[in-house]
Amino acid sequence: MSEPYHSQSIPFLVKNRLSDKVRAHSQLTKREFLKFCGASFCMLSVPHLFGFPETSQAQMIKKGLIKTRLSPFFTSLERGEIQCELCPHRCRVAKGKRGLCKVRENRDGKYYSLVYGNPCAIHPDPIEKKPFFHVLPGTISYSLATVGCNFQCKFCQNWEISQAFPEEIYNKEFPPETVVKEAQEIRAQSIAYTYVEPTVFYEYMIEICHLAKKAGLLNVTHSNGFINPAPLKNLCKVLDAANIDLKGFTENFYRELCGGELGPVLETLKTLKKEKVHLEITTLIIPTKNDEMSVLKEMCLWIKKELGPDTPIHFSRFYPLYKLKTLPPTPVSTLDRARTVALSAGLEYVYIGNVPGHEAENTFCPKCKKMVIQRTGYMVGEIHLRDGKCKACGKPIPGIWT
């Protein structure tokens, strides 16, 4: 589950500057809104928001492929085939064919990314939307994505772009230097690689990360964690924070609902912890699919043992969409039970998402139980931290606070 990018959740910096015509259509569904705009609303709004000349807008936004980049993560095989080494699928791809992610193609025995510098979604978002609750509260994260994904989740919130081919979506020519420049101009304090699985635009992401580091910006990602060890360790050198979707805790769940595997995701989590990347976890609780409390308890005990009790976890509410439209929304009582299970297992920072106004949006000190960060939705209220510690009792609260 990536964070949603739909029109109903346009952050205030964007929504306040949309034209009246677009504003009037802000309550459309994602599909209706895309049809109305003729492109992703993100792409429509960015040139207007950030001052690109009207003459350049048509040049920079177009449907289909814009730029490619040779991937460093493939092995040449016989008869011109290649094997991708970027994610655990390790796709074997014949000449002229693409991998499962739809955005990497074998061209004459070499493997190319088809989405380098070609985002289809660009947003200034509250960092709480990623969600990160222990990273620079109340700041803006400049967020972007290309099309494509290495999972096929039946509950995907952004399936229109995650399951698309690059030729089907309007994309923007947006080189890494421009991404960093625009992030600085809107005074974002981080750049987020999100909405779809960032692994599929790895070459683009890593170059932005290096430039962002030099510019003093944080690099954060929301990922499914399905990436091979070598590219992950390389990314960790420039990555500050990661929110990983731990979608379930059984291999059967990953196979049937995601088209992936649990094992590599668990290894990713351990690697991020070892490499000292700030880590948060999100689990979308889906009725009848991954809401069994005994399995959730097993998951929480694993997190405590392998990652530490101070690893923040977000239990997020499911709403019916994509291929799981017949299921009901997650009862809030189920989320409350999951939180109780996690706390009783020894996890110290357990949040409930997609339920605005719930008390579990707030951060509490696990020692003195005082509230240290107050939130309502994506809005941050009172913050009772001093130098990353609880003001009341002095306990260090893990995170990136400055």
Query: Which of the two residues, 373 and 4, has the higher pLDDT score?
Result: 373
* Cβ within 8 Å of residue 48, ≥6 positions away: 17, 19
Mean pLDDT of 157-178: 95
Give the whole-angstrom CA distance, residue 226 versus residue 232.
10
* Cβ within 8 Å of residue 38, ≥6 positions away: 44, 170
* Cβ within 8 Å of residue 161, ≥6 positions away: 5, 40, 120, 121, 145, 147, 148, 169, 195, 196
Query: Which of the two residues, 100 and 30, has the higher pLDDT score?
Result: 100
**Beta-carbon count within 10 A of 18 CB:** 19
pLDDT at 141: 98
In order of their start, the domains of the chain are 7-22+119-362 (3.20.20.70), 69-113 (no CATH), 363-402 (no CATH)
Residue 66: which pLDDT band, with cuts at 50, 70 and 90?
A: confident
Q: Is the pLDDT of residue 42 over 90?
A: no
- Take residue 247 and report the two structure tokens written for it: 């979608």
DSSP 8-class letter at 294: H
pLDDT at 2: 60
Residue 1: which pLDDT band, with cuts at 50, 70 and 90?
A: low
Residue 114: which pLDDT band, with cuts at 50, 70 and 90?
A: very high
| pTM of the full structure | 0.88
pLDDT at 67: 87
Give the whole-angstrom CA distance, residue 128 versus residue 312.
13
Of 348, 350, 316, give the one whose Cα is nearest residue 334. 316
Residue 74: which pLDDT band, with cuts at 50, 70 and 90?
A: very high
Quick one: which H or E segment has residue 214? helix 202-214
Mean pLDDT of 185-209: 98
Q: Is the pLDDT of residue 95 over 50?
A: yes
Mean pLDDT of 199-206: 98
Q: Is the pLDDT of residue 24 over 70?
A: no
pLDDT digits (tens, 9 = 90+) for 242-283: 999 999 999 999 999 999 999 999 999 999 999 999 999 999
CA atoms within 13 A on the CB side of 15: 14
Mean pLDDT of 311-340: 97
pLDDT at 37: 37
Give the whole-angstrom CA distance, residue 167 versus residue 64.
4
* Cβ within 8 Å of residue 359, ≥6 positions away: none
Give the whole-angstrom CA distance, residue 178 versus residue 38.
24
- Take residue 255 and report the two structure tokens written for it: 């196979």
Percent over 70 (pLDDT), the chain: 86
Helix (H, G, I), strand (E, B) or coil at 109: coil
Helix (H, G, I), strand (E, B) or coil at 61: strand
pLDDT digits (tens, 9 = 90+) for 122-132: 999 999 999 99
Mean pLDDT of 65-78: 94
Mean pLDDT of 163-188: 96
Query: Which of the two residues, 24 and 186, has the higher pLDDT score?
Result: 186
Residue 117: which pLDDT band, with cuts at 50, 70 and 90?
A: very high
CA of residue 281 relative to chain centroid, distance: 11
DSSP lists the bridge partners of residue 280 as 243
Residue 254 contacts residue 153 (beta carbons within 8 Å)? no
Residue 61: which pLDDT band, with cuts at 50, 70 and 90?
A: confident
Q: Which amino acid is at 134?
A: H
Instruction: Report the phi/psi class of residue 300: left, alpha or beta, with left for phi > 0 and alpha for psi in -120 to 50.
Output: alpha
Percent over 90 (pLDDT), the chain: 83
pLDDT digits (tens, 9 = 90+) for 294-309: 999 999 999 999 999 9
What average pLDDT does the chain have? 88
Give the whole-angstrom CA distance, residue 279 versus residue 273.
7
